[in-house]
Amino acid sequence: MKKLVTIALSSSITLGATFLSSGAFAENLRIGVSMATYDDNFLTLLRTAIEARGKSLKDVDLQVEDAKNQVGTQLNQVQNFIASGVDSIIISPVDTDATVSISDDAKAANIPLVYVNRQPINVDLLPDNQAFIASNEVDSGTLQTKEVCRLLGGKGEIAVLMGALTDQTGIQRTQDIYDVINTPECKNMKVVIKDTGLWQRSIANNIMTNWLSAGSKFDAVIANNDEMAIGAIQAMKAIGMDMDKVVVAGVDATQDALQAMREGDLDVTVFQDAKAQGAGSVDVAIKLARGEVVPQKVWVPFKLVTPSNMEEFANRN
């Protein structure tokens, strides 16, 4: 097993320059792409970036499939890619605990594999021709929660909306929250209620509606992504809550989130560069298909977004 390498990149332009030199593309490359779901704002941005990168390259053919949030469907898609003889596979995992089987199948077929955005459980045991590209989730929830702590003056009661409990991304972002409130400057913050909104706006809306109906009180809502933060905002506004009296934080800096920030409803988000992750996954898949060595971990940095700098990110995703 080769030693894992970590690098940080700030844009898809840098990423492409890092991995691809002039004339680097192999001819007639076929890349199979399995997305966890099409029904997710950020993953839609990611898929669009993957497709755009593929279309911009000569002699690269992408086959993009929707796993519909079903582990079995994704496993079948991977097996179909292998059976059809693709040159590389890109995976946005439905369940990050199921990636051992995916890696094993690709390894047995000697087909390169790239995980994108969601960290596979076997990330530290990947074969030499497999890699992972994403933003480091230790930073996402940490940046988010530190800013909430600052806004609350280091004290307050917190409601947490978690992503899917089978997804390492949500698990890590939630752990980040607890890690921050265990620091001396934020020790007077406390999580008083939490539930999993499965990354979805509508589910988060229902959860928040139920919390409010039950009389739950909190000073801030920290959501693992923007979609759940927006769902919570919609539920709070539906009963006439004063949004100036509650801090709301998300992750991704989607365009909907930035609009909610302009309207004064969302206080904090964290920019995740879908374009760099998506384009980078294609670049890495091409390199691996050509038998070239690439870093097994590629980090695209997160960036804190607040009302003071939000317009810098208006056209980034």
With a CB cutoff of 8 Å and minimum separation 6, the contacts of 27 are 59
Between 41 and 107, the higher pLDDT residue: 107
Share of the chain above pLDDT 90, in %: 87
Question: Which residue type, as a one-letter code, is found at position 126?
Answer: L
Longest Cα–Cα distance in the chain: 63
Give per-residue pLDDT as tens, 170-203.
999 999 999 999 999 999 999 999 999 999 999 9
Residue 246 vs residues 70, 126, 184, 280: alpha-carbon distances, Å: 36, 43, 22, 37
Q: Is the pLDDT of residue 14 over 60?
A: no
Q: Is the pLDDT of residue 8 over 70?
A: no
Q: Is the pLDDT of residue 218 over 70?
A: yes
Tell me, what's the pLDDT at 27? 61
Phi, psi angles (nearest 5°) of residue 90 = -115, 130
| Topology of domain 138-271, CATH | Rossmann fold (3.40.50)
- The overall average pLDDT reported for the chain is 91
CATH of 6-134+274-300, one of 3.40.50.2300, 3.30.465.10, 3.20.20.70, 3.40.190.10: 3.40.50.2300
Give per-residue pLDDT as tens, 24-48.
444 689 999 999 999 988 999 999 9
If one counts every other C-beta atom within 10 angstroms of the C-beta of residue 14, the result is: 15
The yes-or-no answer to whether 6-134+274-300 and 138-271 have a common fold is yes
Domain ranges for the chain, please list them: 6-134+274-300, 138-271
Give per-residue pLDDT as tens, 51-87.
999 999 989 999 999 999 999 999 999 999 999 999 9
